Amino acid sequence: MVKIVHRSEERGKSELGWLSSRFSFSFAGYSNSKRNGFGKLLVVNDDVIAPGKGFGAHSHDNMEIITLVTKGELKHKDSLGNVELIKDGEMQVMSAGRGITHSEYNHSKTAPLELFQIWIETARPEITPRHETKAINLRDNELIKVVSGQKKDNVLFINQDATIYLGKFNEEKEINYNIGNGRGIFIFVIEGYAVVNGMAISRRDSIEITDTSEINILAKPELYLMVVEVPL
């Protein structure tokens, strides 16, 4: 088993006044040769956007872009004609494919917006761009699949054999997670505290695990956890 622990304070940082960001992997002006993604997982950004501010129209291609809003409302507009508000507890998948242009703004004029943005490399280039948003219905003390590369899973679909789980826990719970050959697990603590294969990780820490078939997660009360399984 190979484990890489990445503590919150070790993440990349960007402070632009209107945007405060923390990066788990190299992104924009933050470059770290030891943090250039994890398999097909290329970006995990933790953003706080000031009231009324955001990203003007810009383009992406050949990437699966997943957005999780954890506080506030994100105003989204794209070249496919989608205009919507993504609220706390909702997720959006944007399969950029051969190209898509969008803008993202904090809808509130008074309160900051908090979100995570996850980029996963697409399995096939030049696919038709698509967009989908769903409310995330979590059950207490369970890891719930919210994103999948399998349409039959009836969750947000991405064009890659990857899976994202979220879980909120109000009591201690032990989870045994099985993983196939050639795959890795990225575990990120959004809030709270967990012990993963004997390693304690807390708020905004992450751990990457490879070369094993089973992972043990001890969830502690008040934990909000994200697990991303990707091909390596």
What is the spatial distance between Cα 108 and Cα 221, in angstroms, rounded to a whole number? 31
Q: Where in the chain do CATH 2.60.120.10 domains reside?
A: 11-135, 142-231
Predicted confidence (pLDDT) per residue in 182-197, tens digit: 999 999 999 999 999 9
Share of the chain above pLDDT 90, in %: 97
What is the per-residue pLDDT for 19?
A: 98
Non-local CB neighbours of 148 within 8 Å, separated by 6+ positions: 155, 156, 157, 158, 162, 163, 164
- Domain 11-135's class? mainly beta
Average pLDDT, the chain: 96
Task: Kindly tell me if the per-residue pLDDT of 180 is higher than 90.
Answer: no
Predicted confidence (pLDDT) per residue in 145-158, tens digit: 999 999 989 899 99
Q: What single-letter DSSP state applies at residue 30?
A: B
Task: Kindly tell me if the per-residue pLDDT of 27 is higher than 90.
Answer: yes
The residues with which 201 forms a beta bridge, in sequence order, are 194
What is the per-residue pLDDT for 120?
A: 98
Q: Are 192 and 224 in contact, with CB atoms under 8 Å apart?
A: yes
Record: fold of 142-231: Jelly Rolls (2.60.120)
Predicted confidence (pLDDT) per residue in 101-137, tens digit: 999 999 999 999 999 999 999 999 999 999 999 999 9
